[in-house]
């Protein structure tokens, strides 16, 4: 179930992964601006 402890932890891990991916991609915009 989504509410249990183990799943909350896994949800959190995937949240971190996706936020990390979007932030990294956003940084590419900054990077290419300077190339």
Partner 1 sequence: MTANDTLQIIIYFGVLLLLAKPLGIYMARIYEGEVFWPVRLMGGIERLFYRFCGVNAEEEMSWKRYALAVLLFSAAGYFAVYLLQRLQGVLPLNPQKFPSVSPDLAFNTAVSFTTNTNWQNYGGETTMSYLTQMAGLSVQNFLSAATGMAVLVAVIRGFKRQTSMTIGNFWVDLTRTVLYILMPLSLILSVLLVSQGVVQNFRAYRHVTLIQPFTYNSPSLDRKGDPTRDGRGNASVEKAEMRQQVIPMGPAASQIAIKQLGTNGGGFFNVNSAHPFENPTPLSNFLEMLAILLIPAALCATFGKMIGDMRQGRALLAAMFLILVTLMTLSVWSEQRGNPHFTSVGIDQTARSTQPGGNMEGKEARFGIVDSAIWATATTAASNGSVNSMHDSYTPLGGLFPIWLIQLGEIVFGGVGSGLYGMLVFAIITVFVAGLMVGRTPEYLGKKIEIFEMKMAALVILIPNALVKIGTAIAVSTKAGIAGVANPGPHGFSEILYAFSSAGNNNGSAFAGLSGNTFFYNTALGISMFVARFWLIIPVLAIAGSLAKKKQVPAGLGTLPTHTPLFITFLIGVVLIVGALSFMPSLALGPIADYLMSGH
Would you tell me which residues interact with partner 1 (CB under 8 A)?
Answer: 1-2, 7, 10-11, 13-14, 17-18, 21-22, 25-26, 28-29, 32-33, 35
The answer to whether residues 32 and 26 touch, using CB atoms and an 8 Å cutoff, is no
Closest contact distance (angstroms) between CB of 15 and partner 1 is 9
Calpha distance 28→2 (Å, rounded): 33
Closest contact distance (angstroms) between CB of 33 and partner 1 is 6
Closest contact distance (angstroms) between CB of 35 and partner 1 is 6
- Give every CB contact of residue 8 below 8 A, 6+ residues apart in sequence: 2
């Amino acid at each position: 179930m989504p509410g249990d402890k183990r799943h909350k932890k896994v949800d959190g891990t995937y949240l971190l992964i996706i936020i990390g991916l979007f932030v990294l991609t956003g940084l590419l915009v900054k990077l290419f601006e300077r190339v």
